[in-house]
Structure 1
Amino acid sequence: MGSKIIDDGVDRKKQVRAIVLHPELKKGSQSTRSSEARLEEAYGLALAIDLEIIRHEVITVARPKPSTLFGSGIIDKYHDYIHENEVEVVIVDTALTPVQQRNLEKGWEAKVIDRTGLILEIFGERARTKEGKLQVDLAQLSYQRSRLVRSWTHLERQRGGAGFMGGPGERQIEIDRRLIDEKIVRLKSDLEMVKKTRELHRSARRKVPFPIVSLVGYTNAGKSTLFNRLTESKVFAEDLLFATLDPTMRRVNLPSGREIILSDTVGFISELPTDLIASFRATLEEVREANVLVHVRDVSHEDTEAQKDDVKAVLNDLELDPDIQKNMIEVWNKSDLLSDEIKSSLEIQSGHQDTTLLCSAITGEGCSEFLHMVEQLLDAQNLVYEFEIPYENGAALSWLHDNAKVLEQDHHEEGVWVSLSILQADADKFISKFAINPLEEEPEV
C-alpha cells in the first residue's frame, strides 16, 4: 500500500485533534478528480467544524476489506500514530459501512467519522432556521439508525453539531430502533407542517408576480458573495464549505426597473449523502419554482468541470422540469483569481455563449452584465398578449404596466388597447384578478 503525506506544521490553539484519511480505491472509482484534490476537499470540510487537523493523507487501498476497509498494516501504523499524537478523531473520506466504522474505532481506539457523518456534522453546526434544524435532525437520525452501537465515548465536549463528535449527551446511543423510528415519524410530521407554511408563503409570492431567480452551485463557489453583491445585503459568506445552509431571498431590481426575487441556496458537493438530499428537498423546492436558474461556478478551482457535473447530478435528482434547466445561466465566478492569460481565454469562450458570463462577485466585475442577461432570459420566456381595457378599470391598466412589458398602446372610444410581452403565469394572474380575457385565444411567442 502506498501513501502520500501532507503535514501542516501550523501552530493552532488547542482544539480537538484529528487526522483526515482519503482512501484511494484502485477498483471501481468513477471520480474524475485526483486523489490529492479530493483529500484537500475533505481537509476543508474538517476545518469547517474547527478541528485541529495535524495530518491529512491519501491512502492507497488496492483491495478494500469488507470488515475494516484498510488492511491490518495501515490499522496498526495509525494505531501507534493516533496514540503518540493524542488524536481524538479520525475522518475517513468515504462512506463506511456500520461494521467498518465500528471495527476501525476498536482498532484505533478513537472516534471514526466517515464522509457522510462529517457533512452531517457541518450541517448540524450551520443550520439556523427551525426548518434547517429539523432537516438535519432527520438526516442524522436516518444515518444513526444503522449505527446504534457506539464503541468510543471519551469525547466529553459539548458542541452544536449533529452529534457525531461526542459530548456528555452522546456517550452511548441508548435508544433502540423503535425509538429512533418514532423520532423520525415526529420529525417528518413537523417538517410537513413547515413545508405547508412554506407553500403558503410561496402561494403569497405567486400573487405578487416577481420572477424567482435561484442561485445554485458547488459549495464555496461564491453564491452568497454574489447574492450579497447584487442585493447589497450581508448574508453570511466566508471562504468555507457550506457557509450557507438556509435559503435566503431578497428583491433585486433589473436594469429596466423590473423586480425579481433572488434566492440563495445550500451548496452542493460530490457524494452528497442521500439522506441529506431527501431531507433538504423541501428547501430546494425554491429551485424547482425558479423562472431562471443561475449556476455559479468557481472557475479558478482545478476541479471546476467535475464540480459542474456534481451540481448537474443533484439537479437531476431533484427531477426539475426540463424547461427550468433550459433557462439556466452559468456564472463563471472568481475571475479575480485567474491569471491574465486564462482570464482572456475564458472571456473569449463565454463571449460565444448567450447564457455564460465571466465575473467576480468580490470586485463586482460582470455583475451588471449578469442582470442584463437575467432580464433577457426572462423576456425570452414571455408571450405576447393583447387586451382591451375599459377606461373605468384603470387599476388593470396600471397592473399591466407594472408587471409586463407594454409593446404598443392605443386609445379607443371604449377603452385602451394594449399589446404586451408577459410571462404566462403573470397573464393568468391578470385574467383571474381582473376578469379580462385576451383578444386572441392563442398568444404569439
Structure 2
Amino acid sequence: MIFGRFTQCSLISIRCLSIGRPEVATTSSKFANERWSVLVVHPKVRWGSGSASVLKQADRQLDEAVALVNNLPNMIAVEYVTIFTLWLYIRFYSSLIMPVDYNTKRKSIWATGNLEKLVARREEARATALMVNVDVLSPTQQEELFRIFEVPIFDRYNIVLSTFKEFARTDEARLQIALAEIPYIKHRIHALSSKRLHSRPEILHIEQQYSEIEGDLNEILRKREQDLRRDLKEATRKSAEQVGVKNSSDAVVAVVGYTNAGKTSLVKRLTGAVSLTPKDQLFATLDTTRHVAKLPSGRSAVFTDTIGFLSDLPMHLISAFEATLAHVKSADVIIHLRDVSNPDWKAQEEDVVATLRSIGVADNVLTERMITVDNKIDKEGAINASESINSVRISCKTGDGMSELVELLNEKVTMATRCKTIRLRLDVRSPVINWLYHNEFVVVEPIVDGNNLIFDVVMNESEVGRFRKTFAHLRKKSHE
C-alpha cells in the first residue's frame, strides 16, 4: 500500500484557518522530497457536447499533461513499460489515451473494461500515482479512483497548483495561490462533513487537521479570504511602486500568451530589463513583472509580463489571479504572443482568447487594440500564421521582426492613448523649452529657424491640458 507516503504530499493544510491571521506559507504543504512515478491518463471524450474542440489533438493533450507532471521536481511521468517474454521484450509508451463516452462525469470516469486495462497498466509501469488529465475531479471521483487504483489520484488542478507553489517567488503570487485553494478546500470539506463520502481527508488532498477546527467553517474561510485579499491589495500596491512608472499617463502594454510561448523573452527584448531571465519551462513566470521602455514617439510604456495561460483550468483558479490579470483588462494595448513552432498553436490561441473573454476583455479590445505576435519563427516547423495588419512575425532569439513590432506597437499605443503630434514654434528664450525637456517630450531635436526653435512633440489630451494650464500666463501676455 502506497498510502503511507501519500499523506506527506500535496495536502492542503487548514490548521491556520482556525485562529488569528493566517501565514501564507502554511496554507498548503509542498510535495514531499520523495520522488513520484506518475501514470498519466488522458480521457478522450469520443462524442457529445463534452468532447474537445476539433483543434485539439488527444495525443498533444497527453503530451502537455506529461510535461506538466515532469515540470515538478519531485514527480516524473512513467515513460515506458517493458514486458519480457521468452523470445523478446516489448517496450511501449506508458502514459496513454483512454476513450470515454459523452463526458467525464461518471463516478469512476471509465467503464469496467477500460478500468481493468488501466489497473494492469499501472501495475506494469509500477506507478506510485495516477494523473487523470481533466480540469478538476470531484471528491466522489477521487475517492472512487483511489479505491480502484490504491494510489494517489491527481488532476490538472492539483498538478498546476503544485507547480504554482513550487515556482512562486513573491508575496503577490503566493497570496493569489492561497486564494485559489479556498474553493477547493471548501468543496472537499463540505463533501466530507455531509457524510456522502467515506474517505480519509488526505485522499482528497486535505490534511487531517481539518477535523480539529472549531466553529463555523464557512465563516473561518470567509475571514481567511478577506485577509488574503487585503494583503494581496497591499502587495500589489508595493509591487507597482517598485516599477518606476513616472506618471499615470504611461501606456500599459500587457503581454499574454500560452505558457512557454516566450513572453518573458519578448519583454526583455523590448525593454532590455536585465532582471528578466527567460526559461524554457512551463509557468516560468508566476509573478507579474512590470518594465518601462520608451517608444519611438517618446511615450513611456509599461510592459507587464503575466502568468501563462493553459487549457482546461477551473475558473476559480483563473479568477484567483485577478490582481495579475487586472493589468490585462485595463491595458491600453495587448500583445498576444503565439508559439508558431508548436503544432498545437491554433488550439492554444483558442484557449488564450477564451480566457481573455472570461476575465472580461471586450471583443472590441481584442479586434482593435490587440497585436498578434508570432514567435519562434527561427525554429524548424514554424508556420506562417500571420493573417492581418495587426500581426507580425518575430524571433525573440534572433531579433528578426522586432523593428516591425516596435513600429506597430508605437502606432497602437498612440491610438489607444489618444495622442497627437503638436508643432510648437518657440522663441529660444521661452521657458516652455526647459519644461518640454524636463518632462521628456523632446524625442527629435528641434529645427532651428532664426531665433525660433520648432518642436514636434506627442501629447495626449491630459498632457495638452496640463501644458495649457502651466503656461496660460504666457498666452495672456501675448494677447495684451
- The alignment's TM-score, normalised by the length of structure 2, stands at 0.73
Equivalence for 1:34 = 57
- Cα deviation, residue 207, structure 1: 2.0
Within a 5 Å distance, the mapping from 1:165-314 to structure 2 comes to: 170=207, 173-174=210-211, 178-179=216-217, 182-196=220-234, 198-199=236-237, 205=245, 207=247, 209-230=249-270, 231-255=272-296, 258-314=299-355
- The CA distance in 2 between the partners of 1:428 and 1:200, in whole Å, is 30
Equivalence for 2:128 = 88
SS at match of 2:323: coil
SS at match of 2:397: coil
Report Cα offsets for 1:219-243 as digits up to 9, x if no partner. 1111112223332525343222211
SS at match of 1:146: helix
- Cα deviation, residue 423, structure 1: 2.8
| Fraction of identical pairs, as percent | 27
- The CA distance in 1 between the partners of 2:314 and 2:361, in whole Å, is 19
Within a 5 Å distance, the mapping from 1:338-353 to structure 2 comes to: 338-339=380-381, 346=384, 350=386, 353=388
Q: What letter is aligned with 1:186?
A: R
Within a 5 Å distance, the mapping from 1:3-402 to structure 2 comes to: 15-26=35-46, 27-28=48-49, 29-31=51-53, 32-50=55-73, 51-54=75-78, 55-62=94-101, 64=104, 66-83=106-123, 85-94=125-134, 95-148=136-189, 149=192, 151=199, 164=205, 170=207, 173-174=210-211, 178-179=216-217, 182-196=220-234, 198-199=236-237, 205=245, 207=247, 209-230=249-270, 231-255=272-296, 258-320=299-361, 324-325=365-366, 326-339=368-381, 346=384, 350=386, 353-381=388-416, 382-384=419-421, 391-392=430-431, 395-399=434-438, 402=440
Q: What letter is aligned with 2:233?
A: K
Q: What letter is aligned with 1:78?
A: L
The 8 Å contact of residues 156 and 313 in structure 2, kept in 1 or not, is answered as no
- Cα deviation, residue 289, structure 1: 3.1
Distance verdict in 2 for CA 1:418–1:366, change over 3 Å: closer
Distance verdict in 2 for CA 1:62–1:110, change over 3 Å: same
- The CA distance in 2 between the partners of 1:72 and 1:129, in whole Å, is 46
- The CA distance in 1 between the partners of 2:442 and 2:313, in whole Å, is 40
Q: What letter is aligned with 1:333?
A: N
- Cα deviation, residue 179, structure 1: 3.7
Distance verdict in 2 for CA 1:334–1:429, change over 3 Å: farther
Distance verdict in 2 for CA 1:338–1:357, change over 3 Å: farther
- The CA distance in 2 between the partners of 1:245 and 1:121, in whole Å, is 12
Q: What letter is aligned with 2:57?
A: S
Report Cα offsets for 1:189-238 as digits up to 9, x if no partner. 33234325535765883626432222100111111122233325253432
Distance verdict in 2 for CA 1:365–1:173, change over 3 Å: farther
User: Are 2:458 and 1:421 equivalent residues in the alignment?
Assistant: yes
- The CA distance in 1 between the partners of 2:393 and 2:333, in whole Å, is 18
- The CA distance in 2 between the partners of 1:416 and 1:20, in whole Å, is 70
Report Cα offsets for 1:39-89 as digits up to 9, x if no partner. 111111111113121131100012656321112233333334434544222
Equivalence for 1:443 = none
SS at match of 1:100: helix
The 8 Å contact of residues 249 and 261 in structure 1, kept in 2 or not, is answered as yes
- The CA distance in 2 between the partners of 1:322 and 1:34, in whole Å, is 27
- The higher-RCO structure (CA 8 Å, 6+ apart) is 2
In terms of mean alpha carbon deviation, does 423-432 or 266-275 score higher? 423-432
Structure 1: gaps spanning 5 or more residues: 1-12, 156-162, 440-445
SS at match of 1:189: helix
Distance verdict in 2 for CA 1:178–1:80, change over 3 Å: farther
The 8 Å contact of residues 359 and 367 in structure 1, kept in 2 or not, is answered as yes
Q: What letter is aligned with 1:355?
A: N
Considering only aligned residues, what root-mean-square deviation do their CA atoms show, in Å? 3.7
- The CA distance in 1 between the partners of 2:170 and 2:273, in whole Å, is 22
- The CA distance in 2 between the partners of 1:61 and 1:180, in whole Å, is 36
- The CA distance in 2 between the partners of 1:293 and 1:438, in whole Å, is 40
- The CA distance in 1 between the partners of 2:152 and 2:294, in whole Å, is 50
Equivalence for 2:14 = none
Q: How many residues align?
A: 406
- The CA distance in 1 between the partners of 2:445 and 2:364, in whole Å, is 25
Report Cα offsets for 1:94-143 as digits up to 9, x if no partner. 13222111111111111111122222121121211112111111111211
The 8 Å contact of residues 18 and 89 in structure 1, kept in 2 or not, is answered as yes
Q: What letter is aligned with 1:248?
A: T
- Cα deviation, residue 422, structure 1: 2.1
Q: What letter is aligned with 1:377?
A: K
SS at match of 2:142: helix
In terms of mean alpha carbon deviation, does 251-260 or 67-76 score higher? 251-260
Q: Which has the larger radius of gyration?
A: 2
- Cα deviation, residue 387, structure 1: 7.8
Equivalence for 2:478 = none
Within a 5 Å distance, the mapping from 1:401-440 to structure 2 comes to: 402-403=440-441, 420-427=457-464, 430=467, 434=470, 436=472
